Amino acid sequence: MFGNLFNFMPKPFDEGYLPEVDGHRVYYYQYGNPVGVPVLSFHGGPGGSSRPKYAKLFDLKKYRFIQFDQRGCGLSLAKDLLYRNDTSYLLQDAMHLLAHLHIDTPVIAHGVSWGSTMALLFAETYPQAVKQIVVSSVFLARSEDYMWVNADSERFYPDLWAQMREVYKSKDIFKVHKRLLFSDNEADNLIAMSYWRSYEHQIGLLEPKFEKKTEISEDLLNSARISFHYDEHHFFMNDNQILRNIAKIAHIPTLIAHNRMDFCCVPKQAWDLHQALPKSQLQICGGYGHSTPALLKAVKKMIRQNEK
pLDDT of residue 7: 64
Catalytic residue among 41, 76, 113, 198: 113
Q: Could you tell me the pLDDT band of residue 308, with boundaries at 50, 70 and 90?
A: low
Whether 100 and 80 map to the same domain: the answer is yes
3-state secondary structure of 221: helix
Whether 118 and 247 map to the same domain: the answer is yes
Q: Does residue 177 have a pLDDT over 60?
A: yes
Domain that includes residue 287, residue range: 2-141+237-305
Question: CB count, 10 Å around CB of 81?
Answer: 16
Whether 128 and 103 map to the same domain: the answer is yes
Whether 300 and 197 map to the same domain: the answer is no
Whether 110 and 209 map to the same domain: the answer is no
Cβ atoms of 165 and 208 closer than 8 Å? no
Whether 201 and 284 map to the same domain: the answer is no
User: Of 216, 234, 252, which residue constitutes the final position of a domain?
Assistant: 234
Catalytic residue among 41, 274, 290, 291: 290
Whether 57 and 152 map to the same domain: the answer is no
Whether 205 and 268 map to the same domain: the answer is no
Whether 9 and 126 map to the same domain: the answer is yes
105 burial type by CB count under 10 A (0-12 exposed, 13-18 middle, 19+ buried): exposed
- We report the CATH number of the domain holding residue 15 as 3.40.50.1820
262 is catalytic: yes
pLDDT of residue 304: 96
152 is catalytic: no
98-136 tens-digit pLDDT: 999 999 999 999 999 999 999 999 999 999 999 999 999
What Å distances lie between residue 41 and 15, 49, 135, 160, CA to CA? Answer: 14, 11, 10, 34
Whether 171 and 99 map to the same domain: the answer is no
Whether 121 and 206 map to the same domain: the answer is no
pTM: 0.95
- For the chain, the domain total comes to 2
Nearest to 281 by CA among 266, 298, 294: 298
What Å distances lie between residue 159 and 100, 123, 164, 199, 202, CA to CA? Answer: 50, 41, 9, 12, 12
User: Of 234, 259, 289, which residue constitutes the final position of a domain?
Assistant: 234
235-252 tens-digit pLDDT: 999 999 999 999 999 999
Catalytic residue among 69, 145, 231, 262: 262
Whether 18 and 117 map to the same domain: the answer is yes
Cβ atoms of 6 and 293 closer than 8 Å? yes
